[in-house]
């Protein structure tokens, strides 16, 4: 198990660093802990402007960046700790997710917290969300990463994010503030009351390394091997930061005005489709949402371009795709029928 730190609180640099390790460090298991200064991080398939409170973000100098994994928008600041696991993908995408989710839950329980995994991608403490997770497959490697809300103000989270109200209907809560919690508050009254984020970071690092080393390598964990990028690799990270993560095209994108647009929420997440049709054929299509895809949605939308805009044709197209590639790679837990109900 290799351990890496980015040495930065710049969100664009940190995401570029993470992507570089995923795509260029192709051997071994990696654990990264990192922090961003005030930032909203939107999911790979989300429509950025619909996920943020633009006026609040501008007035409070909050950055906006897009990550390469699915899921919903999250708020980061220096009271939040991010973790990333990178390892080999061996056909079963659920196995590393289970391992790493269990690792985070166990690490939190070692601090005397009532932690549990919940729903698609949440980790709860005292029934409050303290961690959201997402994952991505790249070749033979898989990235699993998430947040740990140690001491972040729930009101700031709520005001920075333009949350979809339907996310809370089935949870019997009315706002982001009532749904999220902070780990530092949960520690009060216990043996770790008064812990600061530096001590929390060290504890999480030790616990995650111990558990994941045992689970992924099949033997008790040895001390972490600290790994760093050399000067040439850092230049590549900086290039990726400047040419991708710091660009308007990547973060906001040029989404056309669609003739037909629809949005629905399902147990597997929210999905939105925009479709332009000319001569009965699909000329443009975009799919957004917080569904937990493992690969970019463009692999699916490119396949649908040029097809007749009719149910039977699109049903057959999705069936043909699923016979070759698991649709869950593109749509997470969203089904083909659910996608069609939004598109048509």
What are the angstrom distances between the C-alpha of 51 and each of 39, 46, 58, 139? Answer: 13, 8, 14, 29
Mean pLDDT score of the chain: 89
For residues 282 and 228, state if they share a domain. Answer: no
Question: CATH number, domain at 212?
Answer: 3.30.930.10
For residues 168 and 76, state if they share a domain. Answer: yes
Helices (H), 135-219: 154-160, 166-169, 176-179, 183-187, 197-217
- What was the pLDDT predicted at 121? 81
Helices (H), the chain: 11-24, 48-51, 54-59, 94-109, 154-160, 166-169, 176-179, 183-187, 197-217, 231-240, 248-251, 298-304, 311-324, 328-331, 336-343
For residues 218 and 107, state if they share a domain. Answer: yes
Weakest mean pLDDT among 10-19, 67-76, 124-133, 246-255: 246-255
Q: Write the burial class of residue 319 (CB in 10 Å: 0-12 exposed, 13-18 middle, 19+ buried).
A: exposed
* Residue at which a domain ends, from 222, 251, 280: 251
Q: Which of 133, 116, 111 is nearest to 292 (CA)?
A: 133
How sure is the predictor about 173, in pLDDT bands with cuts at 50, 70 and 90?
very low
- Identify the domain containing residue 154 by its residue range: 2-251
- Structural domains counted in the chain: 2
How sure is the predictor about 275, in pLDDT bands with cuts at 50, 70 and 90?
very high
Mean pLDDT across 212-230: 70
Mean pLDDT across 137-145: 93
Mean pLDDT across 165-181: 57
Question: CATH number, domain at 295?
Answer: 3.30.390.50
How sure is the predictor about 254, in pLDDT bands with cuts at 50, 70 and 90?
low
Residue 221 or residue 196, greater confidence: 196
- What was the pLDDT predicted at 319? 92
CA 288/CA 172 separation, integer angstroms: 25
Six-digit token string for 151: 């001491």
For residues 29 and 98, state if they share a domain. Answer: yes
For residues 200 and 265, state if they share a domain. Answer: no
Mean pLDDT across 118-127: 88
């Amino acid at each position: 198990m290799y351990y890496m730190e980015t040495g930065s609180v710049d969100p664009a640099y940190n995401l570029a660093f993470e992507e570089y390790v995923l795509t260029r460090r192709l051997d071994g298991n990696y654990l990264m802990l990192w922090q961003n200064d005030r930032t909203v991080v939107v999911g790979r398939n989300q429509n950025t402007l619909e996920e943020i409170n633009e006026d609040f973000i501008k007035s409070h100098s909050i950055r906006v960046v897009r990550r390469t994994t699915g899921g919903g928008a999250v708020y980061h600041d220096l009271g939040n700790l991010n973790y990333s696991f990178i390892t080999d993908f061996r056909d079963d995408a659920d196995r590393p997710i289970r391992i790493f989710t269990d690792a985070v839950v166990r690490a939190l329980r070692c601090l005397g917290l009532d932690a549990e995994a919940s729903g698609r991608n949440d980790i709860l403490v005292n029934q409050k969300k303290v961690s959201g997770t997402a994952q991505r497959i790249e070749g033979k490697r898989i990235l699993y990463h998430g947040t740990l809300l140690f001491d972040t103000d729930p009101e700031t989270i709520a005001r920075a994010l333009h949350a979809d109200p339907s996310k809370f209907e089935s949870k019997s809560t009315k706002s982001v503030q009532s749904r999220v919690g902070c780990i530092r508050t949960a520690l009060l009254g216990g043996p770790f009351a008064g812990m600061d984020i530096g001590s929390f970071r060290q504890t999480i690092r030790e616990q995650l390394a111990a558990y994941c080393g045992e689970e992924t390598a099949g033997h008790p964990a040895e001390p972490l091997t600290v790994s760093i990028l050399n000067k040439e690799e850092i230049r590549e990270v900086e290039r990726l930061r400047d040419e991708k993560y710091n660009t308007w095209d990547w973060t906001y994108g040029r989404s056309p005005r669609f003739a037909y647009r629809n949005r629905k929420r399902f147990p597997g997440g929210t999905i939105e489709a925009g479709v332009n049709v000319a001569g009965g054929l699909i000329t443009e299509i975009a799919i957004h949402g917080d569904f937990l895809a493992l690969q970019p949605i463009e692999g699916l939308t490119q396949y649908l371009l040029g097809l007749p805009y009719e149910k039977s044709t699109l049903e057959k197209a999705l069936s043909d795709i699923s016979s070759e590639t698991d649709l869950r790679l593109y749509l997470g837990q969203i089904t083909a029928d659910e996608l069609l109900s939004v598109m048509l």
